[in-house]
Structure 1
Amino acid sequence: MTQRKATRLFLFTIALAALAFQLPVGGAPLAPSEGSAAPRLESHVLVKLATPDAAGPGGRRLEHIFGAWYRLFPLPGEKVGDLLAPTGLAAADDGGAILALEPDFAAYPDAAPPDATSPNAASPNDPLYPRQWHMPQVGLEQAWAATTGAGVVLAVLDTGVSMLGEDSPCDPLVAEYDVFSNSSAPGAAQDQYNHGSHVAGTAAGCADNGVGVVGVAPAAGVMAVQVLNDSGSGSDSAVAEGIVWAADHGARVINMSLGTPCNAPWPNCSAAILNDAIAYAAAADVVIVASAGNSNSQFAGRPGNHPEIIAVSAMRYDGARASYSNYGTAIDLAAPGGQTALDQNNDGFPDGVLQETFNRTTDVWGYYYFQGTSMAAPHVAGAAALLRACVPEADRHAVRAALETFALDMGAPGFDTTYGHGFLRIDDALAGLAAAYGRDPAANCAPTGQPPPCYSVSATADGPGTVTVTVTPPDCDPDGAEPFDLSAYHFGSSLTFSATPDPGYIFSGWSGDLSGTTTPLSRLVTHDLAVVGTFAEAPPPPVEPVVLLSLRADGGGFADEDVVRDDPDAGPALLFDGSAHGLAAEDVDALARLGNGTLLLSTDDAVKNLPGIGAVKVDDSDVVAYDPATGQYSWYFDGSDVGLTTSAEDVDAIALLPDGRLLISTTGNVSVPGVAAADEDVLAFNGTLGSATTSGSWSLYLDGSDLSAGLGDVDGLAFAPGGGLLGVVYLSADATVTLGGQTMVPGDVFSCAPTSLGANTVCPAISPFYAAASNGLAGADVDGVEVE
């Protein structure tokens, strides 16, 4: 490992912090990793073994990570996909030696690519703290009046930390470790990439030394744990190993400005090895903080999406969400992350987070503006270190409760998916935690001699049902006098509220100090709590829908040219006999129905001599209307008139919107005037319909890749009002896919109630709607669908 020269050049420039873009995942990852959007490592798999096995299953080489977890390397000629396949390693494990088997996915820093190049300027003679706009925003100076973090070890799991700058952490690194070399020698975790040094500087860089910039907790000890290599990449297993090392070597706070992108929430995007490591650190009372990720996605990356981790989104100078920052239900707190294309404070410099590091291309040390959730997370980690220094007896639950409870409520009132519980305010959180534990921030957090306050908890039921509270025993005496009466709770106690309705009733929601309809629901005590659970009479069971289907192949007593009506009371029955109406050799590939009962049909191949249309060829990019009253066909939509001219642009699924637009998905990639799309997308056609001459315009209606990267060809499509302003879209896919955390196979129909459509399609709730296999059509592959 080369030593970098600490060459001093005072430049204000944006660091070229590269974000590794996601590649398609090869092979077939095992659950719960299906929600990962990062590359799978092809060098090894991860196994959790019941007993240590030096040789490894089947004589394969093992490399110990921690606990019962190992990296297992394929034999010559084997591939990772072979080991993960259903017929692979798990199938050969007759004796139960393998407790868990999963792929290892890549992890990256969460520093976003810079928006622009910043201007250069000579270094000022005075300290550069005035240019750290992000520090006053979180109330840092007020918190420093109480503590600067002495006595707390803060672990930075990253690319390492370099001490070669003039403004590095004040004290030597603590218990540094490199997971790649398994070395804990001094200098083992030397940063060769620049990201970790910048992150560590924000969390706990030196302050009040007359040089450069400041960190949030300058007196805290910094533990450098290198889990990302010198190229800025790592893996689930490397991160997990680093978490366990930090927990075993005295870290009270862990910061991880890194992650693996997700396209699903936790636990659908998780890794068993990470879950085990996080549980291990949580059991050791470590506060764990992680960046939310920089994909502008509704799903936080992992490990930040884990419930035991404080996930941090990134804000600009003006407090708005930075354009790159992830958001969603996993966000706990918001903190400054910067937006380097802007200068909203008009100081002549980009609005990035300023910290000392080096340019990894030129080896030049200086002060650099970075942007990213990587920069937001260490503000929170440093805050946690200050709180733990002020109130060392507070456990991780209490520290987290203080950070969340006393955060500045921005955006929608209460919790929201942009700010989580709010924008970080270190001063308020520290004051709140100190008061709760009987300490005085104005006296360097010395005990006041007064008993800490107790908080009462009440839980009542409104209606026929029961509300229970699962807690550790009360640990606080409200009056502090003998005889002691432990009937209340200290700040940060963790409570779980459960609502159980009586038979014939439902739980309809919380009120008082809880809200929503989730049960059970956990809450940390930060004040007196009065909770009410409301119960109401259960509504009658919903009427099961009537579904019209066409099938890809003959099955269940029906042919692929038929339309089947599946009534839940009567079961599947023939609605349209294609062989009796000119389609004996065809496959009905798409269907919809008008309000008057007319069927709209598109076939898999061109067809002639349809009754009512005659010898004119109807192509597989066309849609015809069949009138059951007359038995005649008529033209409805001519695809070639409006740009559907290639074999990949065959109509594969159709639906009608209430405003008259025709929704179409094609068998392959499609390019029509104004729009290019793939086979998982849905286009909307707005124009003249119902005749042999078609004209109009196209737009993108639904981007299937936003629902799942593996969605593939949309084979069936329907629409119904309700479910929200944008109605409900029903989808059937050509191949097995995971949607909404559940597996959809050909023959299934899922419902999606979108909150956003077009190029940014969002369906917060995707759920199973219909399964052919459960309705007398075992093995059937749905080729077209309509919902009555």
Structure 2
Amino acid sequence: MRWLLRVGATVTAIGLAAAPVVPAHAAPGLSDRQWWFGSWNIQEKVWPLTKGKGVTVAVIDTGVNARVPDLEAAVLPGADMTGRGGDGREDNDRYKGGHGTGMASLIASRGTSSGFYGIAPEAMILPIAAPVVSPPVTSNSIRYAVDHGAKVVNISLGLPGSDVFPNQCPPQLLDAVKYADSKDVVVVASAGDEGDTVNSPDYPGSCPGVLAVGALARDSKPWVSTQRQSYVTVGAPGQDVGWINKTGQVFDTGEGTSQAAALTAGAAALLRSHDPELSARQVVQRLTATARDFGPPGRDVMLGYGVISISRALTQNVPEDAPNPVYERLDKATASKAGDGATKPAAVEQDDSGGFPVLVVAGVVVALLVLGGGAFLLLRRRNSAMPTGPMGPMPSPPQQFGRPQQSPYQHGSQMQPPQYPPGGPHNPPPGR
């Protein structure tokens, strides 16, 4: 979903639709605009097996309006990490009309009022209001989700600049992802919406242990703006994918990797509901191994191993040694960090000679001088590059991926699913 939000001098706000096209009181029944249901055979092949019952999905976003009729039975009390107080069941999105509510609706909307269904309509939503991506806030949000019963975590947000960190992930955030892995929780994130422009690596999608999702367009090709990065593992529908906003109104369409990530989180919930014995690692491995190849043949930087196929993931056996790059990266990062830690005690060992205190004091003084000079230069550089306000330099802003768009279709019109090109093994519709 294309919903880019940047703050301060770097703002790129891509507009929200002027008005929704479907009122919240529309007659119940699956919306004919949800084309991904047909392409994934949700009603025919997925819902007869599972609708997500028994699984909680944490949505780390702008909060979720629990008073929306289609979501009120699905939303649990959560948390607000913004300092406003509350339990996450308010959507305080001031720019996009309710990004967090929209993501929750794609996952678990009951469809009772609007006819707009999530793909896992019996799953529960744990809302965590944390719209600003930062190592401490996002890390605490993941840990909260893990400690409060979530089996899947969705983060349809991102912040550029992960390439300055080891493993393309801030260490504090990597520790939170490791914690989720230790507690058997799947973490899903959007890959990013700037693939056709700056295409910078965005975290948390770039972090080892996070299932990063690219976006598929309706023409069976990668969406034009989906991020081109090696950390992208799978894809999901991301163009002409609408949502329910925080006032309960349904938008026909939208675009971006936010929607793709939310749909993938819903798919993970379906797998965990259908087979509770599957570990988080096995869920991600199944989604990866059973994905349908779209775009360039083989793994690519836009859709990874392909577009997820929920019915195949639910029913096909996957070898234990099938690729699982998300966790291979995490294990490598963990081993690397453990190796670093193992060498440090030897490096600081000292003998008991009388010169030890002098050496320590001298070393501390030198270290402080070096760190102080480096910090001064770094701050000076940052301050010269960052926009300023009345309170000084403004922080680097997050991105919120995905936006509803004004639809050319009127309520009741027939939106046809995409026409997949004939022939070849790399272009069947997802789920078939």
Same fold (TM over 0.5): yes
Cα distance change of structure 1 residues 200 and 124 upon mapping to structure 2, 3 Å threshold: closer
Offset of 1:268 from its aligned partner?
5.9
Offset of 1:430 from its aligned partner?
1.0
Task: Supply the distance in 2 between the matched residues of 1:176 and 1:263 (Cα, whole angstroms).
Answer: 28
From 357, 366, 376, the counterpart of 2:249: 366
From 109, 115, 124, the counterpart of 1:221: 124
Match of 1:163 in 2: 66
Task: Supply the distance in 2 between the matched residues of 1:332 and 1:17 (Cα, whole angstroms).
Answer: 21
**1 or 2, which has the higher helix percentage?**
2
Cα distance change of structure 1 residues 124 and 419 upon mapping to structure 2, 3 Å threshold: same
- The question of whether the paired residues in 1 share the 8 Å contact of 2:36 and 2:237 is answered with yes
SS in 2 for 1:389: helix
Q: TM-score, normalised by structure 1?
A: 0.38
Q: Note if 1:137 corresponds to 2:39.
A: yes
Offset of 1:181 from its aligned partner?
3.3
Match of 2:298 in 1: 414
**1:749-778 Cα distance to aligned partner (Å, 9 max, x none):** xxxxxxxxxxxxxxxxxxxxxxxxxxxxxx
Q: Note if 1:196 corresponds to 2:100.
A: yes
SS in 1 for 2:59: strand
Give the percent of matched residue pairs that are identical in Structure 1 and Structure 2: 30
Task: Supply the distance in 2 between the matched residues of 1:121 and 1:430 (Cα, whole angstroms).
Answer: 32
**1 or 2, which has the higher strand percentage?**
1
**1:731-755 Cα distance to aligned partner (Å, 9 max, x none):** xxxxxxxxxxxxxxxxxxxxxxxxx
Match of 1:264 in 2: 163
Whichever residue aligns with residue 237 of structure 2, its letter is P
Task: Supply the distance in 1 between the matched residues of 2:268 and 2:308 (Cα, whole angstroms).
Answer: 11
Whichever residue aligns with residue 140 of structure 1, its letter is I
Match of 2:289 in 1: 405
Task: Supply the distance in 1 between the matched residues of 2:16 and 2:222 (Cα, whole angstroms).
Answer: 15
Greater mean deviation of Cα atoms: 264-273 or 114-123: 114-123
Task: Supply the distance in 1 between the matched residues of 2:272 and 2:305 (Cα, whole angstroms).
Answer: 20
Q: Which 5+ residue runs of structure 1 have no aligned equivalent?
A: 1-14, 25-37, 39-110, 339-350, 359-363, 437-454, 456-488, 498-517, 523-708, 713-788
- The question of whether the paired residues in 2 share the 8 Å contact of 1:175 and 1:223 is answered with yes
Task: Supply the distance in 1 between the matched residues of 2:165 and 2:103 (Cα, whole angstroms).
Answer: 25
Task: Supply the distance in 1 between the matched residues of 2:19 and 2:83 (Cα, whole angstroms).
Answer: 36
Where do 1:104-503 residues align within 5 Å? Answer: 113-114=14-15, 120=21, 125=27, 127=29, 129-141=31-43, 142-168=45-71, 170-171=73-74, 173-181=75-83, 187-193=87-93, 194-207=98-111, 209=112, 211-228=114-131, 233-262=132-161, 264=163, 267=166, 269-296=168-195, 297-338=198-239, 351=240, 353-358=241-246, 364-368=247-251, 369-432=253-316, 435=317
Task: Supply the distance in 2 between the matched residues of 1:491 and 1:426 (Cα, whole angstroms).
Answer: 17
Task: Supply the distance in 1 between the matched residues of 2:113 and 2:248 (Cα, whole angstroms).
Answer: 17
Q: Which 5+ residue runs of structure 2 have no aligned equivalent?
A: 334-381, 386-432
Task: Supply the distance in 2 between the matched residues of 1:320 and 1:415 (Cα, whole angstroms).
Answer: 14
Whichever residue aligns with residue 421 of structure 1, its letter is Y
Bigger-Rg structure (1/2)? 1
- The question of whether the paired residues in 2 share the 8 Å contact of 1:169 and 1:222 is answered with no
Cα distance change of structure 1 residues 121 and 210 upon mapping to structure 2, 3 Å threshold: closer
- The question of whether the paired residues in 1 share the 8 Å contact of 2:292 and 2:308 is answered with yes
- The question of whether the paired residues in 2 share the 8 Å contact of 1:114 and 1:371 is answered with no
Task: Supply the distance in 1 between the matched residues of 2:19 and 2:40 (Cα, whole angstroms).
Answer: 24
Aligned residues: 326
Offset of 1:139 from its aligned partner?
3.6
Task: Supply the distance in 1 between the matched residues of 2:22 and 2:54 (Cα, whole angstroms).
Answer: 37
Offset of 1:115 from its aligned partner?
8.9
- The question of whether the paired residues in 2 share the 8 Å contact of 1:159 and 1:191 is answered with yes
Task: Supply the distance in 2 between the matched residues of 1:114 and 1:134 (Cα, whole angstroms).
Answer: 24
Match of 1:706 in 2: none
Higher RCO (CA < 8 A, seq sep 6+)? 2
SS in 1 for 2:177: helix
Task: Supply the distance in 1 between the matched residues of 2:290 and 2:6 (Cα, whole angstroms).
Answer: 35
SS in 1 for 2:268: helix
- The question of whether the paired residues in 2 share the 8 Å contact of 1:331 and 1:417 is answered with yes
- The question of whether the paired residues in 2 share the 8 Å contact of 1:170 and 1:205 is answered with no
Greater mean deviation of Cα atoms: 128-137 or 305-314: 128-137
- The question of whether the paired residues in 1 share the 8 Å contact of 2:264 and 2:308 is answered with yes
